[in-house]
Structure 1
Amino acid sequence: MDGSLLLDDQLCFALYAAQRAVTAAYRPLLEDLGLTYPQYLVLLVLWERGETTVKELAAALRLDYGTVSPLLKRLQAAGLVRRERSARDERSVLVAVTARGEELRERAARVPGALLTATGLDGPGMARLREELLRLAERAEAAAARTR
């Protein structure tokens, strides 16, 4: 397998195919909530952390500001989040879930279990897979940092 250029031997392709398939499995679950997958991820961070800065939100999602900003604009237009300049630091923008966004949280709580059912994974299997993927992400980020 070392040095193989066969598509099916590539880790990157397996990850890409899995990511696309998982996102597709989420799609009908999130359509019921009126959310896209990236919007769902933003709300997950805000539900967990409460009010946060755009910079902290982008870091949590491993995205750049230019990617997060349009997501927040759409979520704000839908009435799910509010954005305002920090009183302490005018350069910083705070983001928080609105009451409408909090109401959506109850319905969204069904999504993880529905995904488990849809994929046939059990809780422990999903936890093991998630931990392996997070370790891989850490190693890949470290490798990328060494090559900059």
Structure 2
Amino acid sequence: MSADVPVEEYLCTRIRRAEQALMGHHEAVLRGYGLTMTQYTVLLALSREPDLSGAQLARACGVTQQSMGGVLTGLQAKELIERRPSTAHAKVLLARLTAPGRDLLDRAYQEVVVLERALTDRFTPEEHRRFCEYLDRATATLVEQTPDSSH
């Protein structure tokens, strides 16, 4: 990229601004339900696949296992999830939604999905298909270019 191109035209800057706008929207909506983005993501993951461990949920949410422990404790205290020992590993607790957790998630989701529909409506079907393809390619490049921290 040329040095004379303003930073606001860099793709990474545009992706960051889009992510910030998306997170800001979701956080504002979820605040009304007493949820953080991570808590919402946990509830959403558990609605799709019950009986996940803290480690599995941490990976799904992109947070550390330590911070996920606090998130799960908070959700359990609000009675939105329940946890029970795994039959395979007694020290591993598996989480699942409670009825109040599913109800709260359903209500929050109905408000969050409004943005998805608004974004989809901004594009023709062909533009939407191409935009998703471009985002997927950008994401793959970002992942490929991220140094492996296991070395």
Tell me the equivalent position of 1:24.
24
2:63 corresponding residue in structure 1: 63
Tell me the CA shift for residue 44 of structure 1. Answer: 0.9
Superposed, which structure 2 residues align to 1:1-148 within 5 Å?
Answer: 1-2=1-2, 6-116=6-116, 120-122=118-120, 124=125, 129-145=131-147, 148=151
Offset at residue 45 of structure 1 (A): 0.6
Q: Unaligned regions of 5+ residues in structure 2, if any? A: none
Q: Is the 8 A contact 2:40 2:105 kept in 1?
A: no
Q: % of aligned pairs identical?
A: 27
1:17/1:55 Cα in 2 relative to 1: closer, same or farther (>3 Å)?
same
Q: Deviations over 1:119-140 (max 9, x none)?
A: x422656665455434433332
Please give the TM-score of this superposition, normalised by the length of structure 1.
Answer: 0.78
Q: Which amino acid aligns with 1:144?
A: T
Indicate the RMSD between aligned Cα atoms, in angstroms: 2.8
The Cα of 1:106 is off from its aligned counterpart by 2.6
CA distance in 1 between counterparts of 2:7 and 2:107 reads 39
Q: Distance in 2 between matches of 1:10 and 1:30?
A: 30
One-letter amino acid of the structure 1 residue matched with residue 73 of structure 2? K
Q: 1:146 to 1:28 in 2, by over 3 A?
A: closer
Distance 2:119 2:24 in 1: 16
The letter for the 2-side match of 1:103 is D
Q: Which structure 1 segments of 5+ residues have no match?
A: none
Secondary structure of residue in 1 paired with 2:119: coil
Which entry has the higher C-alpha Rg, 1 or 2?
Answer: 2
| Alignment length (residue pairs) | 146
